[in-house]
Structure 1
Amino acid sequence: MLVPAILAAAAVTALYLAPFGPTMLDLGVYRAGARALIDGADVYKVVGPGGLPFTYPVFAAVVFVPFAVVPPVVAKLAITLLSLCALFVLCYLTLREVLPRAERVVLLRWSLPAALVASVAYPVLGTLLYGQVNLVLAGMVLIDVLVVRGRARGVLVGLATGIKLTPGLFVVYYLATGQWRAARNAALTAGATLAVGLLVAPGPTWAFLTGYMLDPGRTGDVAFNGNQSILAMTARLLGDTHPPKALTWLVAAVVVLAAMVAARRLHARGQELAAVCAVAAAALLASPVSWTHHWVWCVPATGVLAAWAYRGGPWRVTPWRWCVIGAAALVLWIGPMQFTPADGLPAVMADAYGLLALVFLGWAALQARRAPDVTGR
C-alpha cells in the first residue's frame, strides 16, 4: 500500500506543476507582497493576480521572499511539497493520538494513504489549488502542541501567528491550560515577528495594525458563501453585509469562551487532539474571514470523531455514531456551499462549515464533561 501511495503523491505533485495545472492564485499574491518588500514598496498597495491585495502581516511577506526570487514553477513546487508534507504530518499525528497503542511503523504506513484521502477534501483541495499556507500553519500548530516539549514549546505557534493572525488563539489555549512557558514563548515569538515587520517596513506594519487588520472587507465580500465565519453567517442571516459589530463580537466572544472551557477540560482529561480541534474551530468561527480552504482542521477533527465512534463499540451497537461521522465527513469533503447560488440559499447549505463547527464545539463540551480527569484536578 505504501508504494502505490507514494506514486500517487508523486502524480498529484506532477499534475499541480503541469502547464494545465492550477494557477495558484494566492501563491501569486504572496509572491507579489514579497516582491514589493524586496523593491521597497508598500506591500499593502500592490495588487496580485486577480486584483487581490496582500492581507497578511508584513512578517509573512518576509517569509515569502524565497518564493518571490525563484521562477513560478519552483515556487509552485515548493508550496505543493510543503503542503503535502504538512498534510502527512497532520494525518500521522492524528493517527498517533487516536491510536496510541499502534507502533510507529504502522502509523507511518497508514498516514500516506490517509493523506491521499484527505487531499480531496474540499478545504485541503482548495489549499493546494490556491497555493495557500493553511496546511503548513496547521502542521506547525499541531507539532507545537503535540510533539514539542521543553523550552522550545510555543515557538511554532508564535511563528504561525506572525504569518497569519488566526493561530494566535492557541496562545490563549496555552494560558487556559496552565502551560505558562509555552504561552510566554508563543507571545514573545509573535512579538518578535511584529518587531521584524516594524524593522523592515515600519509604515506598512503600522498601517496593518491600525487599519488593515481591522478591515475584513479588504479580503473580499464577507457575506460570500465561501466565508464560513460568525461574521459571514450573521451577514447572510440578516441580509446585511455589515451586521452590527456588537452582535458579531458578542457571539464570537461567547463561542471562544465556551471553546476554551471545553478545551481546558479535554486537556485535563488527556484528550489533547480534541482540545486542539475545539480551539481551531473557535478560531475559524471568530475570525472575520474564514474561507473554505482555511478549514483544513477538518482532517484531525474527523479523526477525533472517528475515534469517538469506534470507542462506542461495533457498528451493530452504535450505528448512529458512524452515520453522524459519515454525514459530517461528506459535507466537509464535498463543500456544499460551492454548488449553491449567490442568493436565496437555505442557511444550512450556505453555512455548512460554520454550523458543523458549532455542532462540533457542542460535542466537545459534552465529551469534556463525561471523560475522566487524568490529571487529578
Structure 2
Amino acid sequence: MIIRSKAPLRLGLAGGGTDVSPYSDLYGGLVLNATINLYAYCTIEETDDGFVRIISDDFGSDEKIPLEPFIKPDGPSKLVKGVFNRIVKDFRIPIKPFKVTIFSDAPVGSGLGASSTMVVCIVKAFVEWYNLPLGDYEISRLAYEVERKDLNLQGGKQDQYAAAFGGFNYMEFLQNDLVIVNPLKIKRWIVDELEASMLLYFTGSSRSSANIIQEQQKNVSEGDGGAIEATHQLKQGAIDMKWALLKGDMKSFAKILGASWENKKKMASAINNSAIQSAMDVALAAGAISGKVSGAGGGGFIMFMVEPTKKKKVVKALEELDGYVMPFEFTDGGVHGWKIYD
C-alpha cells in the first residue's frame, strides 16, 4: 500500500510574530494568513525489509535506519523521525517497516512556513496510514508539539494551522497554546483582485528563522518597549487588514502591508538586510505600492502590492536582481491524504 499527502504553504499577510511565545501568552496574538498553490508532499510506502528509509529530496538525503519504536531525531530527516516517534508513543501503533519520501515546492527558509507545513503533511500521511482519529485542530496541535517541543525548533504557531485548514484564516493565539481558527469567506472578485495586485518575489536566499525568533522572544521577555509596541501594532494590523480584505479595499490593504513591514523591522535586528532592502527599493521605484517579507524575515519571499496595470513594469525591474518572481494563486483546501492499493 502507498499513502500520499500534500499540504499548502502559506503567505503571512499580517500579524506574523504575534503567534510566538511569550508574546502570545502575555498579550494574545492575531494573525491573518492565506494558503497558496505551492505544497509540501509526503509519500509512505509499506516495505518488508525491517528498516525505515527516509528520502528528503529538498536536502538530497537518503537514510536507512533499523526499525525501532524510537528513532533518534537528528539529521536532515529529523522531521519524519520526530513525527514517527510521537505517533508511536501517543497511539501505540504496531510499527511496520516503511519508506518515506518528502519534498516541497519551495526551499526551506523561504518564509512560507515550509518546515511546519512539511510536519503537518507527514502527520497527515500517518493519520491516513493508521486511520487515526485526528481532525484539523488535532493535526495542527500535534504538528506544533512535535516541531516546537519534541524537536525544540524555534518558531510560532500559525504555520501548522494554516497548512491543516487551508484558505484565508484569521487566527487567535491565546495562553496555554490555545488557538482559534476563524476561516474567512472572501468573495471571488476580491481574491481575483488581490492576486492581480500582488507579486511574490524570492530574494534568492533562504535563511534560518531561529536566531531572528530568539531575538524577538528575548526582546519581549526583557520588556523591550520598542519591540513590544511594534508587535502590538502588528496585531492591530491583522485586525485592520481583515476588514480591508473582507471589503475588497486594496488601497487600505496595501497601506497596512507596508506599515506592518515597518513595524516588523523593529522586532529584531536581522529581519531586514541589504538583499531585502535592495528588492524593496527596486520594486517601489518601479511602481509597487508596498511590500513585506513573508515569515520571520532575513530572506525568503517578499510580497509586493502593485496596481495591476503596473505589474509588468515591476516584474521587469525585479528580474534584474538575483532572485525571481514566483507565480501563485490562493487556494482553499488544507492538508489532505489518500491511499493507493497495490
Q: Fold-level match, TM-score > 0.5?
A: no
Structure with greater helix share of residues: 1
Q: Which structure exhibits the higher relative contact order, with contacts defined as CA atoms closer than 8 Å and separated by 6 or more residues?
A: 2
Structure with greater strand share of residues: 2
TM-score (norm: length of structure 1): 0.25
